Chains A and B, each alone.
Chain A
C-alpha cells in the first residue's frame, strides 16, 4: 500500500474541526494520538452489539465479547511478532505495565517461592534506567529500589541527547539486576540502541525492559529481534483508545513471576486457606479487564498494520528531515535533543530565548496549532539541559509538511509579540 497522507487524514474525524476559527494543526501526538473512525467504531460496536463480561459468561454475548477480547490479544501478538499470544498482558496503560513488573519483582523479593527467586532484589543489587526516562519508567524503579534496598542508577545523556556510550558498560555491571530504558525518548526524540543495551544486560545476567510507548506508533516492533525480556507500550499513543496498554514478556519469565494485583480471573483455585494462580497472561489481569478498549486497540493495530509500520517509519522520517531543517532556519531557536535526523523520531523539543514554552504554546493554540509545553513528564531531562521546560512538536501518521510550515509561521508571530 502506498502512503497517501491526505487519504489517511480523512480517516480521522477530529482533523476536520476548527480551533479558534482556523483549521486544527495537531502537533501533540506524542502526548496522545488522535483516533481513526475504525477505532471509534470498534469500541461503540462492541457496546452496541456484542457487550457482556468476558471469560465467565456462558451466554452468547459473553462468548462474543470474550472472542473479541481474545482476538485483540492475537492482533497485538502478531503486531509485536510475539512467539505466543499468552505473552500479551493487557494493562490500563504503560505506567501500569511497568508498575506490574516493579511490584511483581518486589513481591518476588519477599517470596519463598523458588521460581520467583530470580526476580529477587536487595541491598547490593542495582536497578538501571537512563537519564532520559519519562516518569513512568523512572518512579516505579525508584520506588522498587526503596522497597528492596537495591541501588537506583542511570546511564547519563550527553549534550546532543544521546546516551553516553562510554558509561553503558560501567553502569550496567555484575551487580545490575534490572535494566529498564526507553526505546524512543518522548522529550528528546532520541532513538536508543536497544540491541546494544539488551546485549549488555544479558551479558551481566540482568533482566531487560524496553519502554516502547513512543516507539510503537512510529517504528516496526519485533520483540524477538529486539531480544529484550519485556516490552511495554500504551494504546492511546498508537491511535487506540485510552485505558489500555500492553506488557509483553518472555513466557518462562511471566510464568515464574508472582502476581501484582489479586482478584477475579487471575486465580486457579481459591480457598480460605490460600489461593493458587492462573497461568499468564490471566495471572496478571485481575478483575474485569478493559474489554472495549482492548477490542478498539485491536482495531488500531489493524489500522496501522494495513498502512504498514515500515511505511509509517519512512514517511515520518521525511517529516523529521523537513522539520529539523525548517526549525533550524528559525532565528535563535534551540533544538533540545539530537540536531540531526539520524536515530531520531518524530518528536522535536525546542526553546526560544524570548518566550517561555507556556506562552509559545498559548499563542500557537490561538492559531489552531496544538503543541505541548512543559517538562513532558521527564523533568530530569530539562534539569540536564538547564531549562525549566520546552515546547514540543510531535508528529503522527496524519501530519503534513504544511502543518510544519504553519508551526514555523506561528513561531514568527510569537517572536513579534515577545521580542
Chain B
C-alpha cells in the first residue's frame, strides 16, 4: 500500500469510525439539521444546544463512509463546551485544511487547535472525499447558526412586542 493512502486512513480516523463519539441525539436541543452529501449518500442529523455563548451539548446520528463519520466524531469532541466563536473559527480552519490539497499553510496555533482533526489532512489530496470530511462540520455550523438565530429571534420578538422583526427566516 502506498504511503499516500496510509496517510489518508490514519489510525485516529479508523478509531473514531469504529468508536464514534457523541453519536446519539440529545433530547434537549435548540436546533436540529440534516445534511446530505448527494453524490455518495452520506447523511448526518445533528442537534445542538447553546447557552451563554457556548455549545453546551451536541449529538448526531448518521450513515456514511469512514471519513464522514470519523470527521463528525472528531468535530463533536472538539467543539462541545467551547465558545461558539471558537467553534466557528475552528470550522474555518478545518475548511482551510481541507481545501489545501495536502499543502496547508496553517500556523502552529491553528494546527494545535485542530488537535485530532489534523489527521484528515491526507483527505485533502482526494477532491472526491473532501466533502465527506466536511459534512459534520457544515452540519455543526448550520445548526449553530439556526440555534443562535432562534435565540436572537426570541430576544427580538420579545423586545419588539411581537412584531415581525427577525421572523423572515
Binary interface encoding of chain A residues 348-383 relative to chain B, with 1 for a CB under 8 A from any of its CBs, else 0: 000000011111001100110000011100010010
Query: How far apart sit A417 and B39, CA to CA, in the bound complex (Å)?
Result: 24
Among B9, B63, B65, point to the contact of A417 (Cβ < 8 A). Answer: B9
A388 within 8 A of B: yes
Query: How far apart sit A266 and B66, CA to CA, in the bound complex (Å)?
Result: 52
Among B1, B5, B9, B64, point to the contact of A356 (Cβ < 8 A). Answer: B64
B33 within 8 A of A: no
Query: How far apart sit A391 and B152, CA to CA, in the bound complex (Å)?
Result: 45
Q: Is the CB of A382 within 8 A of B5?
A: no
Which of the four size classes fits the interface of chain A? 20 to 34
Q: Is the CB of B42 within 8 A of A388?
A: yes
B8 within 8 A of A: yes
Q: Is the CB of A358 within 8 A of B65?
A: yes
Q: Is the CB of B43 within 8 A of A388?
A: yes
Known contacts: A20-B2, A356-B64, A362-B5. The answer to whether A389 contacts B14 by CB under 8 A is no
Query: How far apart sit A418 and B14, CA to CA, in the bound complex (Å)?
Result: 7
Query: How far apart sit A233 and B65, CA to CA, in the bound complex (Å)?
Result: 33
Query: How far apart sit A264 and B67, CA to CA, in the bound complex (Å)?
Result: 50
B132 within 8 A of A: yes
> How far in angstroms is the closest Cβ of chain A from B34?
14
Among A357, A366, A373, point to the contact of B5 (Cβ < 8 A). Answer: A366
Q: Is the CB of B41 within 8 A of A375?
A: yes
> How far in angstroms is the closest Cβ of chain A from B129?
7
B155 within 8 A of A: no
Within 8 A of B (CB), among A2-22: 20-21
Query: How far apart sit A20 and B5, CA to CA, in the bound complex (Å)?
Result: 10
Q: Is the CB of B129 within 8 A of A362?
A: yes
Q: Which residues in A have their C-beta under 8 angstroms from that of B67?
A: 358-359
Query: How far apart sit A373 and B63, CA to CA, in the bound complex (Å)?
Result: 15
Known contacts: A363-B5, A417-B14, A418-B14. The answer to whether A355 contacts B66 by CB under 8 A is yes
Query: How far apart sit A341 and B63, CA to CA, in the bound complex (Å)?
Result: 31
Q: Which residues in A have their C-beta under 8 angstroms from that of B39?
A: 374
Among A363, A382, A389, max chain B CB count under 10 A is at: A389
Q: Is the CB of A389 within 8 A of B5?
A: no
Chain B residue with Cβ nearest A388: B41
Known contacts: A362-B129, A417-B9, A417-B14. The answer to whether A356 contacts B2 by CB under 8 A is no
Q: Which residues in A have their C-beta under 8 angstroms from that of B9?
A: 359, 363, 417
Q: Is the CB of B65 within 8 A of A356?
A: yes
Q: Which residues in A have their C-beta under 8 angstroms from that of B132?
A: 358
Within 8 A of A (CB), among B104-154: 126, 129, 132
B165 within 8 A of A: no
Q: Is the CB of A362 within 8 A of B8?
A: yes
> How far in angstroms is the closest Cβ of chain B from A143?
18
Q: Is the CB of A358 within 8 A of B40?
A: yes
Query: How far apart sit A358 and B63, CA to CA, in the bound complex (Å)?
Result: 12
> How far in angstroms is the closest Cβ of chain B from A362?
7
Query: How far apart sit A367 and B5, CA to CA, in the bound complex (Å)?
Result: 10
Binary interface encoding of chain B residues 1-15 relative to chain A, with 1 for a CB under 8 A from any of its CBs, else 0: 110010011000010
Query: How far apart sit A142 and B63, CA to CA, in the bound complex (Å)?
Result: 28
Among B17, B63, B129, point to the contact of A388 (Cβ < 8 A). Answer: B63
Within 8 A of A (CB), among B57-78: 63-67
Query: How far apart sit A379 and B43, CA to CA, in the bound complex (Å)?
Result: 14
> How far in angstroms is the closest Cβ of chain A from B52?
37
Among B1, B2, B41, B66, point to the contact of A418 (Cβ < 8 A). Answer: B66
Q: Is the CB of B14 within 8 A of A388?
A: no
Among A20, A355, A358, point to the contact of B129 (Cβ < 8 A). Answer: A358
Query: How far apart sit A366 and B6, CA to CA, in the bound complex (Å)?
Result: 10
Q: Which residues in B have their C-beta under 8 angstroms from that of A373?
A: 40
Chain B residue with Cβ nearest A417: B9
Query: How far apart sit A251 and B121, CA to CA, in the bound complex (Å)?
Result: 58
Q: Which residues in B have their C-beta under 8 angstroms from that of A20?
A: 2
Query: Interface of A with B (CB < 8 Å)?
Result: 20-21, 355-359, 362-363, 366-367, 373-375, 379, 382, 388-389, 413, 417-418
Cβ contacts A to B, 24 pairs, < 8 Å: A20-B2, A356-B64, A356-B65, A357-B40, A357-B65, A358-B40, A358-B64, A358-B132, A359-B9, A359-B65, A359-B67, A362-B126, A362-B129, A367-B1, A374-B40, A374-B41, A388-B40, A388-B41, A389-B40, A389-B41, A417-B9, A417-B14, A418-B17, A418-B66
Starting from the known contacts A356-B66, A358-B40, A358-B129, 5 additional A-B residue pairs (CB-CB under 8 Å) come to A20-B2, A359-B66, A417-B14, A418-B17, A418-B66
